[in-house]
Amino acid sequence: MGLFSSSRPSTPRPDSVTTAALGVGQISLTLLEKMTDGVPVPFVKAVAGTAVEVIKMARLIQANRKECDDLNKRCTSLLLVILSSLSGKSEDEIPSDLKGNLKRLSSNLHEVLSELKVIDTRVGKSSIGSKLKAGIYHFDNAEKLVECSAKIDWALQEFQVTSKVDSCLKDLERHEELRKGQTEIKKELKNEMQNNQAELLQSQKQILDAVKEKV
């Protein structure tokens, strides 16, 4: 079966790789792209696709590798969480608050991607510039990359909280439906008992009346 309910049987499921959470930075881009490619919901696929682009850029930049590797791992984790959480869901099954969360997430990912493109351009310029300029770019890039990682962390936490709240609300709804169902059953049983008692009393009265007539 595919990642989502789709016609692509070759699409890997995210749960086959999330067990290697500490090594998410080593998951191949090919695998991540295949996982994203199997998403049937357009706006979710767009968000996942942007996350993949961020991961590509983080792996591509030839400077500040420590910060880039950290960003790569965080964004890959975010992507896996999104795909795992929404696996098998149609657009109608995704709650409105989670859709709003994904919209904000998309905006943050585009900001991070734009920042990475600027950093990549700077790295190219620093390679042909002075050592002083290269040093300035290095520290400035490091600061920007840390900010990007912080955005990804915040996005991941917000998505997880929103998903958890949605899950709890659904559990409450199911509990309320079950409680209402039990109340209805009790009500029906009570009515049935009252009807049976009324019928029994009527039968007893008829019997007593018949006995009196014979006497």
> Each residue of 87-119: pLDDT tens digit?
788 888 888 888 888 999 999 999 999 999 999
Interatomic CA distance for residues 118 and 87, integer angstroms: 34
**pLDDT value of position 124:** 72
Cβ burial, residue 167 (10 Å; 0-12/13-18/19+) = exposed
33: enclosing H helix or E strand: helix 29-37
The pLDDT confidence band at residue 211, using thresholds 50, 70 and 90, is low
Higher-scoring residue by pLDDT: 35, 206: 35
Number of residues that this document lists for the chain: 215
The yes-or-no verdict on residue 8 having pLDDT over 60 is no
Interatomic CA distance for residues 77 and 156, integer angstroms: 8
Structure letter (DSSP) for residue 12: P
pTM of the model: 0.65
